[in-house]
Structure 1
Amino acid sequence: MDKDKALAKIKKCLALAKSANAHESATAMRQAQALMEQYGIEHSDVLASEAAEAGAKSGATKQPSNWEATLAGVVGRAFGCDLVFSGVPGIAAQWLFIGIGPKAEIAAYAFTVLLRQCKAARTEHIKTHLKRCKPAGKTRRADEFCQGWVFAVASTVRAFARSEEDTTAIDAYKAKRFKNLDKLDARDRSGGRDYGDSMRGHRAGRNARLDHGVGAVGGAQGRIGHG
């Protein structure tokens, strides 16, 4: 039996240890403890195994824009996930969604779909309203548009009420997976607010949708979208 199989068996034993039958509970706990000692598995390993991560490509290589970081946070909260921004300089970075069960994968899927829609809306906004802007002004105003778009999506999100047990498992996973995490400093390129662009973004963001028929969508639609 390898370590992964031992871990799965330990989890089953610990579940049985919650039995109301005192004898059955004690036997299961002894078995779990024996396996943990035999395979060098700690309680933190058991906790961490409840969590999983799924990656979604970022639009940045090093430092994400404010609106993209906000969108990732909105999606993470919707599915009870923690977020880690990970990347190697010069290569497109990714957002890692860390959650319980399938929630991480669903969150990564939802973020990918929404980011694609926001970028498409941004391109259309630039083409329609910002053609005559200088590059710096175009970027600033396009970011304002995206921020408005994300705020519209955020207003439809129902945050997932995460249990204390889930939080403990996610924290244990992060402690084992990531030794040193720095606070993310997203780029704010807006410079000053242009409410016209922001309002156009908000109106466009009301049309954000997660399509039917793809593996993770069922769960995603339940938490994000306009019903």
Structure 2
Amino acid sequence: MDFDPIEKERIIRKIKHCLALSASANEHEAAAAMRQAQKLMQKYRITEIDVQLSDVNRTEGAHAKAKRPAWDKNLSAVVAKTFNCKSFNCTSWHPIIGRRNQAVFIGVTPAPEIAKYAYDTLYFKVSNARREYVAKARRGELPRGRYTPETRGNHFAEAWVYQVHEKLLALVPEQDDIPAQAQGQAQALSLAENHDNALIEAFIHQITEWEGVGKARARKTADANLDDLIAGFLSGSQAKISHGLTTGAQTVPAIEAQ
């Protein structure tokens, strides 16, 4: 049945409300809510997967460029992995500016919103750090290197992202760090993540008409000046990242320079 997407969203919200009520301790109320949910699903030909996919969402990074450098793609990838999302490069065409590329995050709500917030915040930080490093290279304030200031800035930024990735991973507890009494919760979380990943894959296939997403081409890694990499590592280590970052609340300064 084809009907307006807004109307479909409204019906799915109603079905989800009924399904939530079906978990009531009151048996009669729970049974009535389940019957109502099933009736709506049959009437509008909405499947269980339709209801589940309604929780999957996509967000777009705030920064768009004609070509995204490797450090930018690495940043969106590590942020997506941290928050159990998938990240992609979205290409669009602007009638005046031309070709534009930006990061896209797909995941189960609210993960994409949190990933976008983390990515945008970290992008701002690494861009500023890179800009200052490039300026120093142009002024001759750095040891001489084999590459142009712009390329040296890219190598610096890649090291910065690598260092911050380690900090993001520290926010996620390792399996060995989980107390014995919480092992059951850890297993449940693992199952939930697997379920979310399956929904994300189904969502991606749906929006790409079951063609999936093309694989990124392998990129030849260039050698870099050791000084640039060390500087990037040191700068990245000065980015403070707290657990407040996982809320995605823009009113909380979760990431700041020391």
TM-score of the superposition, structure 2-length normalised? 0.71
Structure 1 residue 199 and structure 2 residue 233: aligned? Answer: no
Structure 1, unaligned stretches of length 5 or more? none
Q: CA 1:220–1:73 in structure 2 vs 1: closer, same or farther (change >3 Å)?
A: farther
The partner residue of 1:81 within 82, 85, 88 is 85
Deviations 1:161-200 (A, max 9, x none): 6623333333333232233311233755x52132210110
Structure 1 residue 153 and structure 2 residue 148: aligned? Answer: no
TM superposition shift of 1:31: 1.9
Counterpart code for 1:148: A
Aligned-residue identity in percent? 30
1:14 maps to 19
- Which structure carries more strand by proportion? 2
SS at match of 2:161: helix
TM superposition shift of 1:19: 4.7
| Higher alpha-carbon deviation: 105-114 or 125-134 | 125-134
TM superposition shift of 1:55: 0.8
Q: CA 1:226–1:79 in structure 2 vs 1: closer, same or farther (change >3 Å)?
A: farther
Q: CA 1:56–1:186 in structure 2 vs 1: closer, same or farther (change >3 Å)?
A: farther
Provide the rounded CA distance (Å) in 2 between the counterparts of 1:226 and 1:20. 50
1:92 maps to 100
TM superposition shift of 1:59: 5.1
The partner residue of 1:46 within 48, 51, 54 is 51
TM superposition shift of 1:159: 4.0
2:60 maps to 55
1:129 maps to 137
The partner residue of 2:200 within 165, 170, 188 is 170
Alpha carbons 1:110, 1:217 under 8 Å: kept: no
1:37 maps to 42
| Higher alpha-carbon deviation: 159-168 or 65-74 | 159-168
1:105 maps to 113
Counterpart code for 2:52: L
SS at match of 2:148: helix
Provide the rounded CA distance (Å) in 1 between the counterparts of 2:253 and 2:66. 26
Q: CA 1:20–1:150 in structure 2 vs 1: closer, same or farther (change >3 Å)?
A: same
TM superposition shift of 1:114: 1.1
Provide the rounded CA distance (Å) in 1 between the counterparts of 2:39 and 2:252. 38
Please report the RMSD computed on the Cα atoms of aligned residues, expressed in angstroms: 3.4
Larger RCO: 1 or 2 (CA < 8 Å, sep 6+): 1
1:216 maps to 249
Alpha carbons 1:80, 1:159 under 8 Å: kept: no
Provide the rounded CA distance (Å) in 2 between the counterparts of 1:141 and 1:103. 33
Provide the rounded CA distance (Å) in 2 between the counterparts of 1:70 and 1:103. 18
TM superposition shift of 1:219: 7.8
SS at match of 2:79: helix
Q: CA 1:219–1:37 in structure 2 vs 1: closer, same or farther (change >3 Å)?
A: farther
Counterpart code for 2:11: A
Provide the rounded CA distance (Å) in 2 between the counterparts of 1:70 and 1:145. 13
Counterpart code for 2:250: V
Provide the rounded CA distance (Å) in 2 between the counterparts of 1:187 and 1:216. 35
Structure 2, unaligned stretches of length 5 or more? 1-5, 174-188
Provide the rounded CA distance (Å) in 2 between the counterparts of 1:71 and 1:148. 11
How many residues are treated as equivalent by the alignment? 222
